[in-house]
Amino acid sequence: MDQVEIFKALSNKTRLQILTWLKAPELHFPEQPNADFENVGVCVGQIQMKSGLSQSTISEYLSILQRADLISSTRLGQWTYYKRNKEGLKKLSDIINTEI
Amino acid sequence: MDQVEIFKALSNKTRLQILTWLKAPELHFPEQPNADFENVGVCVGQIQMKSGLSQSTISEYLSILQRADLISSTRLGQWTYYKRNKEGLKKLSDIINTEI
DNA sequence: TTGGTATATCGGAAAAAGTCGATATACATT
DNA sequence: AATGTATATCGACTTTTTCCGATATACCAA
């Protein structure tokens, strides 16, 4: 993944917020039936509601974050759940600490 | 400094390159008379030549990086020298490791 | 003070990103 | 099969970013 794309993904207030929400879902989202935060993450609808932006915008933002390897998704039934991708975030941390 | 502005500053190929160049100036720039890399950094003209972009663009890019606290400047005579800002980069690293 | 060099700022054209509503797709239920 | 719900994709419009050339400013040297 291109470094620039990672930073572009992070250079938007809402996308940064989504990442902080996903860091501690239990603090930011109501309980979910049938899917726990730790394993699968949070579904798109919950994130969209909290953000206040449109469904299409949030869907796109999530795919931008996913293309940058900052989050990953799991489909369960009609829902798509997103959670933090620890490996991608670790790689980002390494870039900051060793390349710039 | 707003987090989003930091990531915006980083979401451009040339600006990222400038930061990597400034991390090891002795590897990327010729010797400078009257100013050592460690103390004052590298002058705008050297950075501009290496980048291949116009003088005005590089001047603007450097001020974007400076506004994000990623680099700092020193004026010596008619030259402005830029170098990495370790504190700002440390703060960025902390954001990555604790907030997202 | 005049001219030369280094950098900063301004104004603009082109490209990219932000954001929406409408529509498509995927899955579940009846 | 038909309907309903969740998410993804498309097309359009607006705002922001990229990058330039021209000009202004700051400093130096003669």
**Mean of the pLDDT values across residues B79-85?**
98
Distance A54 CA to C25 C1' (A): 18
Q: Contact at 8 Å (CB) between B82 and B88?
A: no
d(CA A81, CA A46): 10
Q: Is residue B99 part of a domain?
A: no
Query: How confident is the model at residue B32, as a pLDDT?
Result: 80
pLDDT digits 0-9 by tens, A7-57: 999 999 999 999 999 999 999 999 887 778 989 999 999 999 999 999 999
Length of chain A as a residue count: 100
CA distance A15 to A32: 22
pLDDT at A28: 96
Distance CA A2, CA A67 (A): 10
Contact A97, B89 (CB under 8 A): no
Give dist(CA B96, CA B100) in Å, integer. 6
Helix residue spans in B11-100 (DSSP H): 13-23, 25-28, 44-51, 55-67, 86-98
By three-state DSSP, how is residue B71 classified? strand
Q: How far does the CA of B83 sit from the C1' of D29, in Å? A: 28
pLDDT of residue A1: 65
pLDDT band at B34 (very low <50, low <70, confident <90, very high): confident
In a domain, B94, yes or no: no
Residue A80 belongs to domain spanning: 3-98
pLDDT at position A33: 72
Using a CB-CB distance cutoff of 8 angstroms, which residues of chain B are in contact with residue A93? 93, 96-97
Protein side of the strand C interface (CB < 7 A): A 8, 11-12, 14, 53-57, 60, 64, 75, 77-78; B 43-45, 48, 55-56, 59-60, 62-63, 73, 78-81
User: If 0-12 CB within 10 Å is exposed, 13-18 middle and 19+ buried, where does residue A32 land?
Assistant: middle
The predicted structure's pLDDT at residue A40: 95
Residue B23 lies in a domain: yes
Q: pLDDT tens, B45-54?
A: 999 999 999 9
Mean pLDDT across B39-48: 96
Distance CA A94, CA B30 (A): 28
Specify if B27 maps to a domain: yes
Domain CATH for B66: 1.10.10.10
Structurally, chain A folds into a number of domains equal to: 1
Residue A97 reports pLDDT greater than 90: yes
Q: Token digits for B64?
A: 């974007």
* The pLDDT of residue B35: 76
Q: In terms of DSSP bridges, do strands B79-84 and B42-43 run parallel, antiparallel, or are they unpaired? A: antiparallel
Residue A84 has a pLDDT of 98
User: Is the pLDDT confidence value at B1 over 70?
Assistant: no
| Residues contacting residue B85 through CB under 8 Å, at least 6 positions apart | B69, B70, B71, B72
**Average pLDDT of B52-57?**
98
Q: What is the pLDDT of residues B4-33, one digit of tens each?
A: 999 999 999 999 999 999 999 999 999 887
Average pLDDT of every residue of chain B: 96
Partner A contacted by B8 (CB < 8 A): yes
Q: Which residues, in sequence order, are CB contacts of A58 under 8 Å at separation 6+?
A: A14, A44, A47, A48, A51
